[in-house]
Amino acid sequence: MRCSPRFLPQRCARIFPQLCYSSISFPEALKRGGAVGRLKLFSTHVLFEEPRRRLEEHFDVEYWRGNERPPRPEVLKRVAGMDALVCLLTEKVDRELLDAAGPKLRIVANVAVGFDNIDVPACTERGIAVTNTPGVLDETTADFTWTLLLGVARRLVEGDRLARSGEWLQWNFDLLCGTDVWGKTLGIIGLGRIGRAVARRAQGFRMPVIYHSRTRASAEIEKELNAEYRTQDEVLLQADFLSLHVPLNEKTRGLIGRAELARMKRTAFLINTTRGPVVQEAALVEALDQGVIAGAALDVFEREPLISDGLRRDNVVLAPHLGSASVETRTRMAMIAVENAIAFFAGQRPPTILNPEVLRRK
C-alpha cells in the first residue's frame, strides 16, 4: 500500500504552514533507500479491527502478539528505530525506553486516560509528543463502578459461586442477605468526569450524594447531580458507599489509609476504580480483618496485577482492571491513540496531546 500523501512534508508545509514541524518529524523517517517510505510504529498490543485498519493505512506496524503483556526486554528491543509507539498503561515509558528507541521516536500514544506510566518531562526534553485518551471511557467506567457497588452490596459473587457449586439445596429466609443500595448515602472522592457520571446514576437509586474534590464543582453541576460538597472527613464519616475517582499523583498516592478507613462507618463499603496505589492495601486488609468497614469492591490494586491474599475474602469483590473494558469503549480509546499518531505526522496538532510545547520546536 502506498504512503498517504498527507505524510509528505512538502504537502504538510503547504497546507499547515503554521503548524508544520516536519523538521522534527519527517526527514529520516520518510526516507528508505532514496524513496519515500512508510513510518514505523510499534504497538504493544494488537488493536481491534477498526483502529488496526486505520493505523495500517498510514504506518508499517509491528505488534506485540503475545497473550501476556510484553516483557520489558522485549519492549526495549522492539521499540528501537521506531517513529511512533502505541502503548498501554502497563508499559513504563521512561528514559531507559527512550534511549532504547533512539532519536527517531517522535510520539508516544498512550491508550489510557492516566499517564503515570510515562515520564512526560523526559519525552518533552527530547521533543517527543505524548498523548492519552481522555473523555471516552467516563460512562463505561461509571457503569462498572456501579457493577462493583451493587455486586458487593448484594453479595452477587458469593451467590454466583453457590449457584454454580451444586451445593445450593433450597431457598432460605436469610440466605446471603446483603444490604440495600437505594436511599443510602453515596460518597465520592474526586468529582471529575467519571465521578460526575457515577453521581448521575445515583439519582435512579434516590441516593443522597456527598463529595469532596480538589476543586469544588459549580452550583449548576451540584444542582444537576443533587450533590453536596463536604470536607474529606465528612465524606468518610457519612458515606454508606465511598467511591474513589482521583488521578494518581504524589498527593493522592496512599490517600486512603488506616486513619481514613477508621473514620468510615462499620457498615460502609469502599469502591475503587481509579488507581490501586490510591489505597494502602495493608491498611485495607487490616480494616477488613477487624471489621472496621463492611467490605470493598476493587478493580485496581496497589501492586497490580498482584493481589494481596488478605483481599481474597467473601466481602470483597475483585476485578482485573475492567473499568473501561467494553468493546465499544476500548475501540474508541484505540482510535483516539491512532488518530493522535496520524495527526502528528500530518503536521497537525494531536487532539489530546499532553505536552503541546514540543510542537513549537524547530
**Active-site residue numbers?**
275, 304, 321
> Quick one: which of 47, 50, 45, 37 has its CA closest to 4?
37
How far is Cα 241 from Cα 187, in angstroms, rounded to an integer?
6
DSSP symbols for 112-177: SS--TTB-HHHHHHTT-EEE---STTHHHHHHHHHHHHHHHHTTHHHHHHHHHHT---S--TTTT-
User: Beta-carbon neighbour count of residue 250 at 10 Å?
Assistant: 6
Report phi then psi at 36, rounded to 5: -70, 125
How far is Cα 53 from Cα 338, in angstroms, rounded to an integer?
10
Coil, strand or helix at 357: helix
DSSP symbols for 214-229: SSPPPHHHHHHHTEEE
Report phi then psi at 354, rounded to 5: -95, -20
What does the block give as the cell for 277? Answer: 496505589
**CB 262, CB 283: distance < 8 Å:** no
Coil, strand or helix at 337: helix
